Amino acid sequence: MSANLTVAREGAVARLRLDRPALHNAFDDALIAGLTDALQALGRDPTVRAVVLEGAGASFSAGADLNWMRGMATASEEANREDSLRLARLMRTLDELPKPTIARVHGAAFGGGVGLVACCDIAIGVPAAKFGLTESRLGLLPAVISPYVINAIGARNARRYFATAEIFDAAEAQRIGLLHDVVAADELDAAVDRQIALLLKAAPFASADAKRLVREVAAAPDRDRLDHDNAALIAALRVSPEGQEGLGAFLDKRPASWVE
């Protein structure tokens, strides 16, 4: 575990905090590795039912650490490729994590920080939060995070913000789909807690597997195959222990065994 990352447990909920406040929670190789390892461990933990991703200090995440970027600027193309693949692994791990994830965006998110927000299933921010895909100012592009950001905000908005590198506010982030909700700063924790409460009422497997279903449906080229696959999925779920418990609880008008 990285010294710049903390994990706290609150029952079935894990809170994963980027903890480099003096550097606005900017990425370096150690933080990328630590965050990837922590997410993988949480993904394997059957007692974890939701993960909250947050940042310490004033910012959510400023993206790449400038000192780290300075070092990579003098490294070989091959070293830069390997470095970028490690970031890609982090983003994919978060995007495909078999647990529901919530981004608690209390401050600025730039570059890779926007990527983290886009990879989370639910994103809630405050009005003062600022966002930017500022790589083009450096002669770069947000290539590694692009699949997740484009999925969140759409191709047309991505074409604008990738090219201009302009800073946008929380209202715009919500309008284009990067944030689901914008709430006052003193209501942020309550808003996150409301989403956690909803997740803990849902069946653990169904809640965790929802993102896989969405990903596969969105990418499916064969509608006939998709119909068969989805019919097989719902049939298997109906006869599974979780499905039987959920349907039984509904018919008996009682809480399901997983409700906390």
Tens digits of residue pLDDT in 9-48: 999 999 999 999 999 999 999 999 999 999 999 999 999 9
pTM metric for this prediction? 0.94
Direct distance between the N- and C-terminal alpha carbons of the chain, in angstroms, rounded to an integer: 29
Of the candidate ranges 64-73, 111-120, 208-217, the one whose mean pLDDT is the lowest: 64-73
- Cα(170)–Cα(182) distance, integer angstroms: 7
Q: Is 181 helix (H, G, I), strand (E, B) or coil?
A: strand
Sequence-separated (6 or more) residues with CB below 8 Å from residue 177: 152, 153, 154, 157
Query: Given this model, what pLDDT does residue 122 score?
Result: 98
Taking the domains of the chain in order of start, what are their residue ranges?
5-199, 203-252
* Distances from the Cα of 135 to the Cα of 86, 112, 248, angstroms: 18, 10, 52
- pLDDT for 1 beyond 70: no
- pLDDT for 3 beyond 90: no
Q: What is the pLDDT of residues 34-44, one digit of tens each?
A: 999 999 999 99
What dihedral do alpha carbons 179, 181, 185, 191 form, nearest 10°? -120
Query: Given this model, what pLDDT does residue 69 score?
Result: 78
Band (pLDDT 50/70/90 cuts) for residue 180 is very high
Torsion angles phi and psi, residue 46, rounded to 5: -70, -15
- pLDDT for 175 beyond 80: yes
For the chain, give the mean pLDDT.
93
Contact 35, 90 (CB under 8 A): yes
Query: Given this model, what pLDDT does residue 226 score?
Result: 85
Closest CA to 29 of 62, 59, 56, 67: 67
For the stretch 34-39, contacts whose Cβ atoms lie closer than 8 Å and that sit 24 or more positions apart, written own/partner, are: 34/1, 34/2, 34/4, 34/5, 35/2, 35/5, 35/90, 36/86, 36/89, 36/90, 36/93, 37/1, 38/1, 38/2, 38/5, 38/7, 39/90, 39/93, 39/94, 39/97
- pLDDT for 249 beyond 90: no
Closest CA to 148 of 118, 177, 172: 118
Band (pLDDT 50/70/90 cuts) for residue 2 is low
- pLDDT for 49 beyond 90: yes
Segment 228-243 mean pLDDT: 88
Q: Is the dihedral angle over the CA atoms 163, 156, 192, 218 positive or is it negative?
A: negative
In single-letter form, the type of residue at position 123 comes to A
Sequence-separated (6 or more) residues with CB below 8 Å from residue 55: 17, 18, 21, 25, 61, 106, 107
CATH 3.60.150.10: does it fit domain 5-199? no
Band (pLDDT 50/70/90 cuts) for residue 132 is very high
Q: What is the pLDDT of residues 52-108, one digit of tens each?
A: 999 999 999 999 888 887 888 888 999 888 989 999 999 999 999 999 999 999 999
Q: Which two tokens stand for residue 165?
A: 């590198």
